[in-house]
Amino acid sequence: MKKKWWHDKVAYQIYPKSFFDTNQDGIGDLRGITEKLDYLKNLGIDIIWISPVYQSPFVDQGYDISDYYAIDPAFGTMEDMDRLIAEAKKRDMYIVMDLVVNHCSSQHEWFRKAVEDPHGKYGNYFYIKEGKDGNPPCNWRSYFGGSVWEKLPGHDNLYYLHLFAKEQPDLNWENPELRQEIYKMIRWWLEKGIAGFRLDAIINIKKDLRFQSFPEDREDGLSSFTCELEQAEGIHEFLQEMKEEAFAPYNAFTIGELFDYRPEELEQYIGDDGCFESIFDFSTHLLGSDPRGWYAFTPVTPEEYKKAVFDSKHRTWKTGFMANIIENHDEPRGVSHYIREEDLNEISKKMLAGITMMQYGLPFLYQGQEIGMSNTVFSSIDEVDDISTIDEYRNAREQGLSEAEALKAVAGQSRDNARTPVQWDASENAGFTSAVPWRKVNPNYKEINVAEQEGRPGSVLEFYKELIRLRKNPVYQEAVVYGEEIPFRESEENLMAFYRKGREKTLLVLANWQRESRTVEIPLEFDRVLVNNTAENTEIENGKVFMSSYQFLILEKE
Ligand code: TEU
Ligand code: CA
């Protein structure tokens, strides 16, 4: 495996609407990001991925783009963007933009022209098909519910494809002209000096053009199109072409968002000649999900988590670096998702921090994770903005759940948990804005906020800093970045432990993922505590270490 400049770095995702508001309109903005660059630098962040800031009607919060060359006024101006890029450069930080090219917005000029003239040039930028006997071309269900086909306005028997919302028409990647438009846009942004892109829903760009129906799998008479994803062949031709024409000339950093990749194709994605630099590791995010919908989710156990991580690291070892996350803007807060509510405190949050930061791969934090932000509370479905949660709520109601049951069932999965404003301090609206914030602040902001944690020994924030410093410390770096991840006492329940075996140093990482304390037997030579998430003075005697509730330790040889 070739070494890359970004392997020893730490990355951070910003969801700009909820990050920091500087003009007091209740919406986070680009200037807000620039103002907080020093905060991020001080935390130890090198690479910043910003969720979409392009012009958008915000049906799916910016993942529906109506102009790829414009900044939405809600976030500021192109000058603000240029300034952010320049200020980041000054601090040796890298800006990564979101590339949303599986679909655009139905307000995009291309789509408007396609509606006007479906048989003309722009009609071929989308998938426009004739219906069958008054029905859509096939029975696939969109990610956000309902058919993937919508009638093309003003045309009786013509439908267009949208795998996500109907306001997000899919772009026809089979059309070379469309592909060239996209590459041109990518080069335009790279020319501005950004470091690269995170590629949204990229697995979806290749379709099985037969558009076959599958057996229905829910009462809506539709079928999940995951079967289609399994059948679609030839994505790598598109991705390699995009790499050659757009990314490679700029040596761009690229990170793919793909859930359904085939393990045997890993090399083609992130190997030395792969089409991307990295992809996100979603192995633990897929746990507990149920084809019936969010309401049927089962909580993830430490044993499942451990197995998923070890399998994934074993699979990727020597091929490439995946990006390790516990949460993002599409997921609930990691601490709420992976730790039982009654056990949630600073110690257990720091344990999860330790586990994720010590994994083989690129650590990728999501805004607010560094202070242990947790899921919010919804008193009714009317408080929910996220299109996906609203659809899952409807699905749960259709399955017979009461309003209260349905809300409870989907609240824990809701994408809005991650989209509440960042909690900067204990002042009104958590210091995010002095106006009415576009999303309600999590009511726990008075206890959980940056100002309270900054400089306080034992805080979640200071623990993240400590772990990041360890990754950057020349003495430990090789082991933390490139050391092989070898499971330790894997069969011991609720113990997540592994070595990071570097060329010279080997570290032993231990996490007691349970409320009960325990004694762990360890090899005699690991007798020095390097990192400890508690204030306890942990002693190691005769190859035995006593671990308290949710304790996390990194040990080394004296
Ligand atoms: O997500 C892609 C994706 O697969 C999601 O549908 C995910 O399964 C879903 O969010 C779970 O509720 C990307 C973006 O990250 C997401 O925010 C967008 O909504 C989506 O693409 C469409 O652009
Ligand atoms: Ca603003």
C-beta of residue 73 within 8 angstroms of C-beta of residue 59 = no
Supply φ then ψ for residue 319, to 5 degrees. Answer: -90, -50
**507: confidence class by pLDDT, cuts 50, 70, 90:** very high
CA 292 – CA 224 distance, rounded (Å): 10
Kindly give the number of the ligand 1 atom that is closest to the alpha carbon of 413: 12
Nearest to 511 by CA among 550, 556, 464: 550
**Backbone region of residue 201 per phi and psi (left: phi > 0; alpha: psi in -120 to 50; beta: other values):** left
164 lines ligand 1 (CB under 6 A): yes
> Ligand 1, from 330, 388, 414: best to mutate by most atoms within 8 Å of Cβ?
330
- Residue 43 makes CB contacts below 8 A (sequence gap 6+) with 12, 370, 461, 464, 465, 468
Kind and range of the H or E element at 242? Answer: helix 235-242
Instruction: Using the atom order of ligand 1, give the atom closest to the CA of residue 143.
Output: 6
Collapsed DSSP state (helix, strand, coil) of residue 293: coil
H/E element holding 466?
helix 460-472
Ligand nearest to the Cα of 168, by number: 1
pLDDT value, residue 533: 98
- pLDDT band of residue 232 (cuts 50, 70, 90) is confident
Which residue owns the Cα nearest ligand 1 atom 1?
Answer: 201
| Count of beta carbons in the 10 Å neighbourhood of residue 29 | 26
Checking if the pLDDT of 259 tops 90, the result is no
Atom of ligand 1 nearest to the CA of 201: 2
388 Cβ inside 6 Å of ligand 1: yes
Q: How far apart are CA 533 and CA 511, in angstroms?
A: 10
Q: Considering every ligand atom, which ligand is closest to the CA of 286?
A: 1
Alpha-carbon distances of 412 from 123, 372, 382, 407, rounded to whole Å: 41, 16, 16, 9
| pLDDT given for residue 218 in this prediction | 86
- Give the single-character DSSP code of 429: G
Q: Give every CB contact of residue 260 below 8 A, 6+ residues apart in sequence.
A: 203, 226, 229, 230
* Tokens linked to 209: 């053009």
DSSP state letter for 485 = E
Best residue for ligand 1 mutational test, from 96, 200, 286 (most atoms within 8 Å of Cβ) = 200
Using most ligand atoms within 8 A of CB, pick from 15, 18, 63, 286 the residue to mutate for ligand 1.
Answer: 63
Please tell me the residue having the least CA distance from ligand 1 atom 6: 143
Q: Where are the beta strands (DSSP E) in 214-348?
A: 223-224, 253-256, 278-281, 322-324
By the 10 Å C-beta count (0-12 exposed, 13-18 middle, 19+ buried), 104 is classed as buried
**Quick one: pLDDT band at residue 25, thresholds 50, 70, 90?**
very high
- Give the residue numbers marked as catalytic: 200, 257
| 336: nearest Cα among 283, 374, 376 | 374
Q: How far is CA 526 from CA 206, 463, 542, 547, 557, in A?
A: 50, 22, 10, 15, 4
Three-state SS for 160-214 is EECCCCCCCCEECCCCHHHHHHHHHHHHHHHHCCCCEEEECCHHHHCCCCCCCCC
What residues are paired with 471 via a beta bridge? none
Q: What is the pLDDT of residues 163-210, one digit of tens each?
A: 999 999 999 999 999 999 999 999 999 999 999 999 999 999 999 999
- Neighbouring CB atoms inside 10 A of 205's CB total 23
Q: Whose CA is nearest to atom 22 of ligand 1?
A: 63
pLDDT tens by residue, 69-113? 999 999 999 999 999 999 999 999 999 999 999 999 999 999 999
Q: Determine what percent of the chain is predicted with pLDDT higher than 70.
A: 100
Per-residue tokens: 120: 């003309």
Q: Is 98 in the pocket of ligand 1 (CB under 6 A)?
A: no
Q: Is the pLDDT of residue 314 over 90?
A: yes
Distance CA 325, CA 305 (A): 13
Closest ligand 1 atom to 102 CA: 23
Output the CA 11–ligand 2 centroid distance in Å: 24
Give me the numbers of helices (H) and strands (E) for the chain, helices first please: 16, 23
- Measured in Å, residue 76 CA sits from the centre of ligand 2 at 8
Helix (H, G, I), strand (E, B), or coil: what is residue 486? strand
What tens digit of pLDDT does each residue of 422-461 get?
999 999 999 999 999 999 999 999 999 999 999 999 999 9
280 lines ligand 1 (CB under 6 A): no
Please work out, in degrees rounded to the nearest 5, the angle formed at the alpha carbon of residue 285 by the alpha carbons of 223 and 227. Answer: 25
pLDDT at position 18: 98
- How many other C-beta atoms lie within 10 A of the C-beta of residue 78? 12
Element (H, E) at 487: strand 484-487
b (16+ CB within 10 A) / e for 501-524? ebeebbbbbbbbbbeeebebebee
**60 CA: nearest ligand 1 atom:** 19
CA distance 432 to 19: 7
Structure tokens at 236: 């790598």
- What is the rounded average pLDDT of the residues 486-505? 97
Q: State the average pLDDT over residues 263-281.
A: 96
Tell me which residue of 171, 291, 284, 308 sits closest to 227, measured CA to CA: 291
Q: How many CB atoms lie within 10 A of CB 169?
A: 28
Give the number of the ligand closest to the Cα of residue 29: 2
The pLDDT of residue 247 is above 90 = yes
DSSP letters of 387-418?
A: HHHHHHHHHHHHTT--HHHHHHHHHTT-GGGG
Cβ of 60 closer than 6 Å to ligand 1, yes or no, is yes
* Residue 200 CB–ligand 1 contact under 6 Å: yes
How many angstroms separate the alpha carbon of residue 22 from the centre of ligand 2?
5
Is 220's pLDDT higher than 90? no
pLDDT at res. 227:
79
The residue type found at 540 is: I
Side chain identity at residue 544, one-letter code: K
In which band, very low, low, confident or very high, does the pLDDT at 348 lie, cut at 50, 70 and 90?
very high
pTM above 0.95, yes or no: yes
pLDDT in tens, 57-72: 999 999 999 999 999 9
- The answer to whether residue 225 scores a pLDDT higher than 90 is no
Kindly give the distance from the C-alpha atom of residue 338 to the centroid of ligand 1, in angstroms, as a whole number.
20
**Ligand 1 atom with least separation from CA of 165:** 22
Residues 296-312 have a mean pLDDT of: 97
Q: Nearest-CA neighbor of 340 among 461, 546, 516? A: 516
CA 489 vs. chain centroid, Å, equals 30
First vs last Cα of the chain: how many Å apart?
31
- What ligand is nearest to the CA atom of residue 23? 2
